[in-house]
């Protein structure tokens, strides 16, 4: 077993050990999985249909979400990684200057929210009963968290990145649920958030923890456009960068770009643990840690996928609960330390005969 202390010590960063979760309260929770990538946008909300059916809105209906495998973007990703400016099929998204690797913020990015269709920003107001936890988690950056909540409830809804029914529950299901994970991240750590979507948990962590440096990895164009603008509008450009591409691409690097790596990789509602480990462990420094937000299925996932995770170079997955005693539904995370570097299998080269010909060549 790997203890928290071992894990924290192995992670580079000036501050060291993350505060362990306070054991004030432990109770079973609803499945806090929030995204049903494969699910339709709320049809009851006119104008919410995502512009691109490949990037459906998420809604946080746990009953819909549980057991649904997040969409594999392989089918619908715009191949933005190559360095070529990418034609984004999404008509609504504002133009973003295309950097081959790290996208740059667009200047004066126009808001998509107009008077006629704008959702009510007041729907993102912090519910009074959550104010104490929000203050504790965001401290003097609570205003920034509120600005992000408003952005999600307005632009995020209009662009089909979140379902309109999410707006009233943004704080408990999304912002606080992600912010509590900060307790698992050491001071000063570098963090890669894989499959950031609309910025969860990456942007929340950047707001709650100005000591962290974050890279948000997301392959889908409409989402990275939103992320880039959010980073700019929230004034987070110093600590947050947006990488458009898949985790596998980020880890592989290219001729023009070094492979990305970090002390901590986070992911929420992205993929089952075995697949997630395959994507995320290569993004970690040796001894770094994957912190995957999971729902009620976390223990089952550990039972099912431990062997695969270890084969991929990870330690034994551990389950932790974050925010106990602070929020009503603590977040469940699975953590995996990158213990060994496992090289991906290369396909065997065909054998050549003496004459230099491949066997079977004519």
Ligand X SMILES: C[S@@+](CC[C@H](N)C(=O)[O-])C[C@H]1O[C@@H](n2cnc3c(N)ncnc32)[C@H](O)[C@@H]1O
Residues that bind ligand X in the complex, under the rule CB under 6 A = 34-35, 37, 58, 70, 73, 194-197, 200, 217-220, 223, 246-248, 268-270, 279
Is 84 annotated to bind ligand? no
Is 290 annotated to bind ligand? no
Is 259 annotated to bind ligand? no
Residue 135 CB coordination number (10 Å)? 13
Is 247 annotated to bind ligand? yes
223 or 321, CB closer to ligand X?
223
Q: How far is the CB of 219 from ligand X (least distance, A)?
A: 5
CA trace torsion 176, 142, 205, 124 (10° rounding): 50
Given strand 318-322, what is the order of strands in its sheet? 102-103, 240-244, 213-218, 190-194, 262-268, 284-294, 331-337, 318-322
- On whether the CB atoms of residues 23 and 6 are closer than 8 A, the answer is no
Q: How far is the CB of 5 from ligand X (least distance, A)?
A: 28
Q: Phi first, then psi: give them for residue 283, nearest 5 degrees.
A: -90, -5
8 or 70, CB closer to ligand X?
70
Q: How far is the CB of 59 from ligand X (least distance, A)?
A: 11
Comparing CA positions, the residue from 247, 300, 304 lying closest to residue 270 is 247
| SS3 of residue 342 by DSSP | coil
CA distance 116 to 53: 23
Q: Which residue has the tokens 């008077």?
A: 115
Is 220 annotated to bind ligand? no
109 or 269, CB closer to ligand X?
269
- Characterise 167 by phi-psi region: left (phi > 0), alpha (psi -120 to 50), beta (else): alpha
10 or 284, CB closer to ligand X?
284
Q: How far is the CB of 189 from ligand X (least distance, A)?
A: 19
Give me 231's structure tokens.
Answer: 């980073």
Q: Phi first, then psi: give them for residue 263, nearest 5 degrees.
A: -70, -35
8 or 331, CB closer to ligand X?
331
Q: How far is the CB of 350 from ligand X (least distance, A)?
A: 29
Q: Where are the alpha helices (DSSP H) in 139-236?
A: 142-151, 157-158, 177-179, 202-208, 221-233
200 or 312, CB closer to ligand X?
200
Q: How far is the CB of 55 from ligand X (least distance, A)?
A: 8
37 or 324, CB closer to ligand X?
37
Angle at CA 316, nearest 5°, toward 217 and 295? 55
Q: How far is the CB of 324 from ligand X (least distance, A)?
A: 21
Q: How far is the CB of 50 from ligand X (least distance, A)?
A: 12
Q: Is residue 240 packed enough to be buried (19+ CB in 10 Å), middle (13-18) or exposed (0-12)?
A: buried
CA distance 345 to 332: 32
10 or 294, CB closer to ligand X?
294
Binding residues: 195, 200, 247-248, 268
Binding residues for S-adenosyl-L-methionine: 195, 200, 247-248, 268
């Amino acid at each position: 077993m790997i203890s928290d202390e071992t894990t924290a010590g192995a992670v580079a960063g000036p501050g060291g050990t993350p505060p362990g979760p306070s054991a004030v309260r432990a109770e079973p929770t609803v499945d806090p999985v929030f995204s049903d990538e494969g699910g339709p946008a709320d049809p009851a909300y006119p104008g919410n249909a995502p512009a691109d059916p490949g990037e459906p809105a998420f809604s946080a209906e746990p009953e819909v979400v549980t057991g649904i495998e997040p969409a594999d973007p392989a089918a619908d990703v715009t191949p933005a990684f190559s360095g070529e400016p990418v034609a984004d099929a999404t008509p609504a998204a504002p133009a973003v200057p295309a950097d081959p690797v790290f996208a740059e913020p667009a200047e004066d990015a126009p808001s998509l929210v107009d008077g006629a269709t704008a959702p009510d920003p007041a729907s993102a107001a912090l519910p009074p009963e959550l104010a104490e936890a929000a203050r504790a988690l965001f401290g003097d950056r609570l205003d920034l968290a509120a600005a992000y909540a408003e952005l999600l409830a307005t632009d995020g809804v209009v662009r089909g990145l979140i379902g309109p029914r999410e707006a009233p529950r943004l704080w408990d299901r999304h912002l606080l649920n992600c912010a509590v994970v900060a307790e698992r991240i050491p001071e000063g750590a570098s963090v890669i958030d894989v499959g950031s979507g609309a910025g969860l948990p990456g942007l929340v962590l950047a707001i709650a923890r100005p000591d962290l440096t974050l890279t948000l990895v997301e392959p889908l164009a409409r989402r990275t456009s939103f992320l880039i603008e959010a980073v700019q509008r929230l004034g987070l450009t110093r600590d947050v960068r947006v990488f458009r591409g898949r985790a596998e691409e980020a880890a592989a690097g290219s001729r023009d770009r070094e492979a990305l790596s970090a002390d901590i990789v986070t992911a929420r509602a992205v993929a089952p643990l075995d697949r997630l480990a395959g994507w995320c462990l290569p993004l970690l420094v040796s001894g770094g840690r994957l912190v995957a937000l999971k729902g009620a299925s976390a223990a089952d996932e550990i039972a099912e996928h431990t062997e695969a995770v270890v084969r991929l170079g990870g330690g034994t997955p551990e389950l932790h609960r974050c925010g106990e005693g602070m929020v009503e539904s603590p977040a469940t995370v699975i953590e995996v330390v990158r213990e060994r570097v496992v090289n991906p299998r290369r396909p065997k080269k065909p054998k050549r005969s003496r004459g230099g010909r491949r066997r079977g060549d004519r």
